[in-house]
């Protein structure tokens, strides 16, 4: 009997390891403009996963001949803090981090009007402060918020979530345990405004009928997360407005 068979990911009455139902998201928390020096920034929490994102630019970059003459380049650096996982992560960028930087960049690029800033660079840094599954999706959510916060024109925000499978059950927003011991993990990023899917990866296996179900579930979850992103972006301004007009602010945030 392998370790995998010993981990109970979902109980008979449909509770997952952290008490959620199959279609329940982890608690979300999002805030923009958390860093003063960055042009745009955001902090995103999806349950135990916490990601900080910072955006700089459009700005000049050297050597200049590496910049395309007709558009901006988007540079994404995804990193995990040494303290973000149980066993200290070596600070040197790993193969995995470099690859995730690339897929996150490719998930964000279709949403941006890069051709408006020729010969410039837009830098996106995402740092995982605490990892509990779904760090790439949380990074995409944070990065797209930070880009909007930096005033970069976009077709729409990019929103991401992971779906997965435990046996015959499709589940949403996997945590670390489900990611490691589940039967499938499929991160998806979308531009909800246009319906475009900008990232779709999968670990494990998924029968075709469950794949369809998983995609539908992800779309539903993305709408919820997208709504939270919109709230986070607007909140700053609504607070200032309320303060100026002498209206009580919502103390929750």
Partner 1 sequence: MKIMPVFFKNMDIVVPGDLVAEGNYRIIEGAYRVGQKIFSRVVGVIYVREKSIKIVPLEGNYYIPKVGDHVIGKIVDYNPVSWQVDIRAPYLAKLDASDFLGRPLDPAKEDITRFLNVGDLIFAKVASADRASIPTLIAKGSNLGKITGGKIIAISPQKVPRVVGRNQSMIKLLQELTKATIRVGDNGLIWIRAKNKQVENIVVRAIKKIERESHVPKLTDRIRDFITEELKKIEGEEK
Relative to beta strand 121-130, strand 73-80 is parallel
Instruction: Decide whether 16 or 226 has the Cβ nearer to partner 1.
Output: 226
φ, ψ dihedrals at 102, nearest 5°? -65, -45
CA distance 40 to 207: 41
| Among 82, 194, 205, 249, contact with partner 1 (rule: CB under 8 A) | 194
| Among 193, 197, 202, 224, contact with partner 1 (rule: CB under 8 A) | 193
User: Burial of 208 by CB count in 10 Å (0-12 exposed, 13-18 middle, 19+ buried)?
Assistant: exposed
CB of 92 to partner 1, least distance (A): 30
Instruction: Decide whether 188 or 191 has the Cβ nearer to partner 1.
Output: 191
CA distance 200 to 140: 12
- Count, residues near partner 1 per rule CB under 8 A: 39
Look up tokens 């779904």; give the residue: 134
Contacts of 239 (CB under 8 A, 6+ apart): 249
Chain-centroid distance of CA 24 in Å reads: 17
Candidates 85-93, 134-142, 216-224, 240-248 — which segment interacts with partner 1 by CB under 8 A?
Answer: 240-248
Residue 241 lies near partner 1 (rule: CB under 8 A): yes
Dihedral-angle region of residue 96 (phi above 0 means left; psi in -120 to 50 means alpha; beta otherwise): alpha
CB of 139 to partner 1, least distance (A): 18
CA distance 132 to 123: 25
Residue 47 lies near partner 1 (rule: CB under 8 A): no
Q: Reduced to 3 states, what is the DSSP secondary structure of residue 116?
A: helix
User: Burial of 136 by CB count in 10 Å (0-12 exposed, 13-18 middle, 19+ buried)?
Assistant: buried
Residue 51 lies near partner 1 (rule: CB under 8 A): no
Look up tokens 């740092």; give the residue: 127
Instruction: Decide whether 193 or 202 has the Cβ nearer to partner 1.
Output: 193
Residue 68 lies near partner 1 (rule: CB under 8 A): no
- Interface positions, 85-144, toward partner 1 (CB under 8 A): 111, 113, 116-120
Length of the chain: 253
Residue 239 lies near partner 1 (rule: CB under 8 A): no
Residue 69 lies near partner 1 (rule: CB under 8 A): yes
Instruction: Decide whether 80 or 145 has the Cβ nearer to partner 1.
Output: 145
| Among 4, 21, 60, 205, contact with partner 1 (rule: CB under 8 A) | 60
CB of 171 to partner 1, least distance (A): 27
Candidates 22-30, 81-89, 123-131, 235-243 — which segment interacts with partner 1 by CB under 8 A?
Answer: 235-243
User: Burial of 36 by CB count in 10 Å (0-12 exposed, 13-18 middle, 19+ buried)?
Assistant: exposed
Could you list the residues that contact partner 1 (CB under 8 A)? 39-40, 57-60, 69-70, 111, 113, 116-120, 148-157, 191-194, 229-230, 233-234, 237-238, 240-241, 244-245
């Amino acid at each position: 009997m392998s370790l995998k068979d010993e981990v109970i990911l979902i109980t008979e009455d449909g509770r997952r390891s952290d008490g959620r139902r199959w279609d329940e998201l982890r608690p979300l928390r999002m805030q923009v403009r958390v860093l003063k020096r960055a042009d745009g920034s955001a902090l995103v929490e999806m349950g135990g996963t916490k990601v900080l994102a910072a955006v700089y630019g459009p700005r000049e970059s050297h050597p200049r001949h590496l910049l395309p003459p007709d558009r901006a380049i988007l540079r994404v650096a995804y990193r995990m803090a040494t303290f973000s996982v149980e066993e200290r992560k070596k600070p040197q960028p790993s193969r995995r981090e470099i690859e995730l930087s690339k897929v996150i960049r490719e998930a964000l690029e279709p949403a941006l009007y890069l051709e408006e800033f020729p010969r410039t660079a837009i830098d996106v840094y995402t740092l995982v402060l605490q990892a509990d599954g779904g760090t790439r999706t949380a990074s995409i959510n944070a990065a797209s918020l930070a880009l909007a916060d930096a005033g970069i024109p976009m077709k729409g925000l990019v929103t991401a979530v992971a779906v997965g499978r435990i046996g015959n059950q499709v589940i949403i927003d996997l945590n670390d345990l489900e990611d490691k011991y589940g039967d499938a993990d499929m991160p998806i990023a979308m531009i909800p405004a246009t319906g475009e899917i900008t990232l779709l990866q999968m670990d494990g296996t998924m029968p075709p009928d469950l794949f369809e179900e998983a995609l539908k579930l992800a779309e539903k979850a993305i709408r919820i997360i997208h709504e939270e992103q919109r709230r986070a972006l607007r909140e700053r301004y609504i607070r200032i407005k309320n303060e100026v007009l002498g209206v009580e602010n919502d103390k929750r945030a």
